[in-house]
Structure 1
Amino acid sequence: MDSLPYADVDSSLRALAGRAEGFGRFSVGGLRGPVYYVTTLADDGPGSLREGCRKKEPLWIVFEVSGTINLSSYLNVSSYKTIDGRGHRIKFTGKGLRLKECEHIIICNLEFEGGRGHDVDGIQIKPNSKHIWIDRCTLSDYDDGLIDITRQSTDITISRCHFSNHDKTMLIGADPSHIGDRCIRVTIHHCFFDGTRQRHPRVRFGKVHLYNNYTRNWAIYAVCASVESQIYSQCNIYEAGQKKKTFEYYMEKAADRAEVKSGLIRSEGDLFLGGAEAITFKGEGIFHPSEYYPSWTMEPAANCLHSILQICAGWQSVQRPADNMVIP
């Protein structure tokens, strides 16, 4: 490939801040705060991730340990935090992260596997959260979703993530009664949906830009547009296994409308392999990403794309960069 996004975000510790492509591009995380060092894999207490995430001031959180953090309850993340897993290998299990009424969050280079319990997601974003970037995370095997974005949470980018061994992968928009979800805007790019069954994503109400993702061997559908949603699918690779239907349209009725409606999907430059079948719309009534951001790093959907995404999506063995920023 000629170019990939984020070539220089590992040049220094805080180079991630404000560098997301797409709707989450304004997220600065803990840019203006000190570095917080996680020194224990304990669920709570001194030096724990939970202790850092509950602090109200901006923090750039890094790890001095590797291993598994078994969460006994959702770990709530407060505003202006970066959870930066570069340099170590941290896996969450038991429960997940909850981004609730917060803003400016960056989550980078972490693993999520084996979340148990009713309504337990790997990363749950609700309500009223915004300016969020999730990058280079590996997620699998939770009892509910891997990433769910609902209840008026918006301006979010999910990039370079690997999803596997899961059913309901990503829900965007809670249900037809939550009409406030019309504000939702999400960009998903350079992600690898690896044999997950459905919801790559499933969208209600919101606007979603998908580009340069690789989705293969789904079991129900790849992408679903439900009530009033608008999905712009651009230069993705959809490789079918036994199930051939790439795009699904579910009819639902918004709480403040009389008529039942599905959403709309526009496909531009997508590559359909393995007999993948797609019914799309030419673009009437569908947003264009350029209405919201000026540029994004995108390659044509070609064989080299799915080869490189299998390597570059998900947790990466990269060094933690040096911090060259002086906090006054």
Structure 2
Amino acid sequence: MQWKVKESLSRRQLIMMSDKDHETVAAACPTGNPIDDCWRCGPNWASNRQQLASCGFGFGRDALGGQGGPVYIVTDSSDDDASLNKPGTFRYGVSLNQPLWIIFSSDMTIRLKDKLMMSSFKTIDGRGADMVTSTSLWTSGMQVTVALNHFDEGLEQRMPRCRHGYFHIVNNDYMEWGMYAVGGSANPTINSQGNRYMAPANPNAKEVTRILDDTIGDSEWMKWDWRSEGDILVNGAFFAPSGDGSGVKYALASSTDPKSAMIIDQLTINAGVLGPTIGGSGPLTGTGTGVGAAAGSGTGEGWGIPLVGRTVYGGSVTAPLPPSIFFSFLMVILCHLYVCIL
């Protein structure tokens, strides 16, 4: 996915931060966003990060992710040589063939130099860290929900790009795009509901959608099922629908009841960076036991995230590396989740 964090805290006038106890309290909680309301209203979420796994939504509501697995801390933002797959990097964590809850030791910029292939059972938890990357999200598979995101200025395309399968794009806020917002190839079904699409000033980039398949003509594309329902289109934005509106296909591309696009500001008010005081500051420490992990501890400057009872992996927080049995997992680069980050 391509993320750009830009003045994200300024969007959240309802969020108040307390320097005394380093807790974030939402002045307007709940917000109506089912994911945020599930975990964010509690002031001590950082001590129980894996509660987020119970906040499933859309087609992913039953996904386990890294629940029950050890915590992997990304401490190294480099991706200079993908073939080395260095411990402590983001690439190393997502390649390991076991459940992992992946967090970040500090603010960082990660620029991927090659395709990132994720193994199964991973949760990438960026809460509490300011993350900027330069990538794109391709989704290819059966049923995918893209929901409750704020796509800010400076993004070009692939939010997302869809291939095959059924895609529910619901209650997102698109502030701008360079080329297009939602693209597709290989006959995906796209169900866009309750989003706000704000077109850029460029008169040649007003269309929300883009067909990304040069092998077909208009007559073939018109058989694909793409629809916009309850979306707000701003500044000349337009969505090109296609297909016969078959209820059966859109039923397969419906994962939740959309909320009104009129409250999109409220639904996405917490999107973006939480801020630097989440969970307090101090050393990262962790102890625990698990598959391929001896009991141990590690220290290093970070966010003060309680990790007792979890194994910490990450090369540059001075925590011991797991035994050599783990390195056999470097060969596991298959995209079991049908999500490939390029």
Q: Structure 1 CA distance, aligned partners of 2:55 and 2:162?
A: 25
CA offsets 1:221-248 (integer angstroms, 9 cap, x no match): 4434555321111111122333433445
Alignment of 1:173-252 (within 5 A): 184-195=142-153, 196-240=155-199, 241=201, 242=203, 243-248=205-210
The answer for the alignment partner of 1:172 in structure 2 is none
How far the C-alpha of 1:209 sits from its partner, in A, is 0.6
Structure number with greater Rg is 2
Q: Structure 2 CA distance, aligned partners of 1:227 and 1:70?
A: 28
Partner secondary structure for residue 31 of structure 1: coil
CA offsets 1:180-213 (integer angstroms, 9 cap, x no match): xxxx322111223334344444434321111111
The answer for the alignment partner of 2:137 in structure 1 is 147
255, 260, 263: which one aligns with 1:300: 260
The answer for the alignment partner of 1:9 in structure 2 is 39
Supply the RMSD in Å over aligned alpha carbons.
Answer: 3.7
Q: Structure 2 CA distance, aligned partners of 1:48 and 1:279?
A: 41
* 1:266 equivalenced with 2:230 (yes/no): no
Query: Contact 2:111/2:133 (CA < 8 Å) preserved in 1?
Result: no
Q: Structure 2 CA distance, aligned partners of 1:42 and 1:219?
A: 27
Partner secondary structure for residue 17 of structure 1: helix
Query: Contact 1:225/1:265 (CA < 8 Å) preserved in 2?
Result: no
Pair 277,16 (structure 1): closer, same or farther in 2 beyond 3 Å: same
The answer for the alignment partner of 2:128 in structure 1 is 87
Alignment of 1:98-109 (within 5 A): none
Which protein has the bigger strand share? 1
Which protein has the bigger helix share? 2
Query: Contact 1:222/1:247 (CA < 8 Å) preserved in 2?
Result: yes
> Gaps spanning 5+ residues in structure 2: where?
1-29, 80-84, 280-302, 312-342
CA offsets 1:68-96 (integer angstroms, 9 cap, x no match): 4565555554332333233334xxxxxxx
Partner secondary structure for residue 50 of structure 2: helix
Partner secondary structure for residue 197 of structure 2: strand
The answer for the alignment partner of 1:26 in structure 2 is 62
Q: Structure 1 CA distance, aligned partners of 2:100 and 2:246?
A: 43
Partner secondary structure for residue 287 of structure 1: helix
Pair 3,57 (structure 1): closer, same or farther in 2 beyond 3 Å: same
Identity level (%): 32
The answer for the alignment partner of 1:179 in structure 2 is none
- Provide the TM-score with structure 1 as the length reference: 0.57
> Gaps spanning 5+ residues in structure 1: where?
90-109, 114-121, 123-145, 155-183
The answer for the alignment partner of 1:136 in structure 2 is none
Partner secondary structure for residue 62 of structure 2: coil
- Provide the TM-score with structure 2 as the length reference: 0.55
Pair 251,15 (structure 1): closer, same or farther in 2 beyond 3 Å: same
Could you tell me which amino acid in structure 1 is paired with residue 233 of structure 2?
Answer: F
